[in-house]
């Protein structure tokens, strides 16, 4: 006898507690044995996810509750990884929408909820973090209802069930006055409000590929939901590709999900989410079906990218010194391999064999790809991100973003002024009782390029900024993204304390004494609008009257640390970011410098 099934996705804005809530569900369902050591955010298995505290890839798990198998898909909350959300929503029949009791719905909440409503899903709303100070659970519920109405939800979807919870403390309850110490009310709500999957086990097999994985033993593994029919290990099946071609293969291994493990199955029927090995060339959106009666499901459609940057083979004077994989063929092969699993990414070849146009959903989407590649040993350069323009009804249009800022009161004026110069239009302003103000803007995507660093300075690091793609609108005018000029190294060598100390009044440095530099490398920001070339390798001339240790008590001002994200936002149109496994360097695109 097969178990009753529920397939549910967990969706929310970044940092609203999805992964922590899934932790609590896993722990309380008896997935882990007594005394087993379980890390926090156990679903964030990727090293980058753990470092940044965000979910990047959608992941599957399954728990048992009252003889029902609940398949849970944990999705990313950041809009840059919206492609992950869009492709997995087709696997589920319901979703749990998590909202922070203090912040309420945020830009990404709107994005993921819109996608869920378009699929006809009826969300169960969980107001999370109710044990935090300044939490306003009922205010959050009212804001969620307003958002449902704004997104055109039908009457049935607007009558959403809601619960109050704390993922960190591991409890959920129907009413704030209830006493609860566990997640039982949420399990019950999933069983009651998420419909059982529909699908006919007697029909020909149809399984849509929504996620790809790789095993050294099994090769490519495809994960997806069985929409119709029954699948058995060892049976012959067919893959209907994007082009409509039918490729026959044998299912070498059939796996199901049980907690965080994959368990081997003999067979599975319609409604189950399974992993299948045996299809070496399967891609996302394609259908595994009956070879005698091949029937394809509609391909998965995801929103188009909004941002593009050029990946170059590294041609700086330090090229090839730090990376193992440096040739155009290696970079190209790696980008093409990324296309297989990253559905929201686009890669196009250019007129030069050393350059590739890579388009994605946002700076973080492309930044994660760059960081992943450099950790794998690749060395390359990237250009400044550019927005992708489109023609809508014969009119040139550009992408606009919905931007929400949470800032201290004293920073409000500065933020409004800077966003006004960047063509931002304020939609809403809410003054909180805790000395903070929430501002909402609609702004062209190009107006946000390079704004984060400026925003951090305006708010002295206390501001919170989040944004998501809104729509394409007619071009707005010139966007003023003022930035000072840069300090450029005049010759190759090693930066010295003496030279940097003498040039300290010219601006702020990105490097420290002892850093290797080359001609054309950007070493700091000038305190004036124009660029300035400096010789930071000059050494002090020693004489018998002056000791070399005479300056030991003199200190340099602290350099500005350039992380990958910060550098991507900082570079200008005539500049490149050189990325190697060991370093991140900024440089001018043209190496011709003024003659002296």
Annotated binding site for GTP: 15-20, 128-131
Distance separating alpha carbons of residues 165 and 140, to the nearest angstrom? 13
DSSP-derived letter for residue 44 is -
What SS3 state is found at 384?
coil
Residue the block writes with tokens 């890390």: 39
Query: Which stretches within 29-106 are classed as H helix?
Result: 47-52, 82-88
Which residues line the annotated binding site? 15-20, 128-131
> Strand 219-228 and strand 273-277: pairing?
antiparallel
Distance separating alpha carbons of residues 204 and 194, to the nearest angstrom? 26
> Strand 507-509 and strand 171-173: pairing?
unpaired
DSSP-derived letter for residue 575 is E
Our CA dihedral for 72, 78, 82, 85, rounded to 10 degrees, sits at 10
> In 43-57, which positions are buried (b, 16+ CB within 10 angstroms) versus exposed (e)?
bbeeeebeebebbbb
Query: Which stretches within 449-593 are classed as H helix?
Result: 451-458, 497-502, 564-570
Distance separating alpha carbons of residues 64 and 334, to the nearest angstrom? 39
Residues 6+ apart with CB under 8 A from 197: 5, 6, 7, 93, 225, 270, 271
Distance separating alpha carbons of residues 242 and 339, to the nearest angstrom? 14
| 23 and 43 Cβ atoms separated by less than 8 Å | yes
């Amino acid at each position: 006898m097969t178990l009753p099934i529920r397939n549910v996705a967990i969706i929310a804005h970044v940092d609203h507690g999805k992964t922590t809530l899934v932790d609590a569900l896993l722990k309380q369902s008896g997935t882990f044995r007594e005394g087993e050591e379980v890390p926090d955010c156990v679903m964030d298995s990727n090293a980058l996810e753990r470092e940044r505290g965000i979910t990047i890839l959608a992941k599957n798990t399954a728990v048992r509750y009252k003889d029902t198998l609940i398949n849970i898909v944990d999705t990313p909350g950041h809009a840059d990884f919206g492609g992950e959300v869009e492709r997995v929503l087709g696997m589920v029949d319901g979703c749990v929408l998590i909202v922070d009791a203090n912040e309420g719905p945020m830009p990404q909440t709107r994005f993921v909820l819109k996608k869920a409503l378009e699929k006809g899903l009826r969300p169960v709303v969980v107001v999370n973090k109710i044990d935090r100070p300044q939490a306003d659970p009922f205010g959050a519920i009212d804001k969620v209802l307003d958002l449902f109405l704004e997104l055109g939800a039908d009457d049935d979807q607007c009558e959403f069930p809601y619960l109050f919870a704390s993922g960190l403390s591991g409890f959920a309850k129907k009413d704030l006055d209830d006493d609860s110490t566990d997640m039982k009310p949420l399990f019950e709500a999933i069983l009651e409000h998420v419909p059982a999957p529909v699908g006919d086990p007697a029909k020909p097999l149809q399984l849509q590929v929504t996620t790809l994985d790789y095993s050294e033993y099994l090769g490519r593994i495809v994960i997806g939901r069985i929409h119709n029919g029954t699948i058995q290990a060892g049976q012959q099946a067919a893959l209907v590709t994007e082009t409509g071609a039918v490729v026959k293969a044998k299912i070498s291994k059939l796996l199901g999900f049980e907690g965080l493990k994959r368990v081997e199955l003999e067979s599975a029927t319609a409604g189950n989410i399974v992993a299948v090995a045996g299809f070496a060339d399967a891609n996302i959106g394609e259908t595994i079906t009956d070879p005698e009666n091949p029937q394809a499901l509609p391909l998965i459609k995801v929103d188009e990218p909004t941002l593009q940057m050029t990946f170059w083979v590294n041609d700086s004077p330090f090229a090839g010194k730090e990376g193992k994989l440096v040739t155009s063929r290696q970079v190209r092969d790696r980008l093409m391999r990324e296309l297989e699993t990253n559905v929201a990414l686009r890669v196009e070849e250019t007129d030069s064999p050393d350059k590739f146009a890579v388009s994605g959903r946002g700076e973080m989407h492309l930044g994660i790809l760059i960081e992943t590649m450099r950790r794998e040993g690749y060395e390359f350069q990237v250009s400044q991100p550019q927005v992708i323009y489109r023609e809508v009804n014969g009119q040139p249009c550009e992408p606009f973003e919905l931007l929400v800022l949470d800032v201290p009161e004293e920073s409000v004026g500065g933020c409004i002024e800077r966003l006004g110069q960047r063509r931002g239009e304020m939609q809403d302003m809410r003054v909180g009782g805790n000395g903070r103000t929430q501002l909402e803007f609609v702004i062209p995507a190009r107006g946000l390029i390079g704004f984060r660093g400026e925003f951090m300075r305006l708010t002295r690091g206390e501001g919170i900024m989040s944004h998501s793609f809104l729509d394409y609108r007619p071009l707005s005018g010139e966007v003023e993204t003022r930035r000072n000029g840069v300090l450029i190294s005049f010759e190759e060598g090693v930066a010295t304390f003496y030279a940097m100390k003498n040039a300290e009044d010219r601006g702020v440095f990105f490097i420290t004494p002892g850093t290797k530099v080359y001609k054309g490398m950007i070493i700091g920001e000038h305190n004036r609008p124009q660029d300035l070339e400096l010789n930071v390798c000059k050494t002090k001339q020693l004489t018998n009257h002056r000791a070399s240790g005479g300056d030991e008590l003199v200190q340099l001002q602290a350099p500005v640390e350039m992380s990958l994200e910060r550098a991507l936002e900082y570079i200008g149109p005539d500049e490149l970011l050189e990325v190697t496994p060991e370093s991140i360097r900024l440089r001018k695109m043209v190496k011709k410098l003024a003659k002296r």
